[in-house]
Amino acid sequence: MTTSETTTDRLGAGRSAAVIIASTSAARGEAPDTTGPLLVEWLRGRGYDCPDAIVVRDGEPVGQTLRGLLIDTPEDKRPRIIVTSGGTGLAPDDRTPEFTAELLERQSPGLIYAMWRKGLESTSSAVMSRGVAGVRGRSFVINLPGSKGGVRDGITVIDDLLEHIQTSVEDTTDHGPRV
């Protein structure tokens, strides 16, 4: 942050975010959550009010948590950004994309494509991630892989676009005259 920049100038100022980790082993306490802290730190660094990551088992608990944040929470209190990590692979209980997609009003597949491209710079397995991204109301949701590398790639892609995503979802973008 520059000396002329204040906390209220930061992108997420006055907005909340949430991180959901889909990891059965972390939820059981059998393995550490290695991606939640990265995502929470990134979002807090962008000015969002972001509590520690919510760690749940793969499968239905992810859907329950997403529904809680996107449906059960009053619209004015919903997180503006929800990032999930994990549950995007090919295992039978990797169902994060399905639960996310059923709650979205509009999807943005180009963001996932950009993450695949970034991931392919270091590993061919990047294309196995089945994540989705999109919007419900004024909340933007994106699924990232459960690996630290996949999360770092996702942050790299999304960070440059986050302001435009947020202003578009909030309909505060001044598009100017259409040519």
At position 160, the amino acid (one-letter code) is D
| Phi-psi region at 167: left, alpha or beta (left = phi > 0; alpha = psi -120 to 50) | alpha
d(CA 167, CA 172) in angstroms, rounded, equals: 5
Beta bridge partners of 56: 22
d(CA 65, CA 50) in angstroms, rounded, equals: 15
What's the pLDDT score for residue 2?
42
| Pick from 10-19, 60-69, 95-104: least confident | 10-19
Give all domains of the chain, ordered by start, each with its CATH number.
Answer: 17-169 (3.40.980.10)
Nearest residue to 62 via CA among 91, 42, 31: 91
Beta bridge partners of 142: 83, 133
Q: Please say if the pLDDT value at position 173 is more than 90.
A: no
* Residue-wise pLDDT tens digits, 63-78: 999 999 999 999 999 9
* Residue-wise pLDDT tens digits, 103-135: 999 999 999 999 999 999 999 999 999 999 999
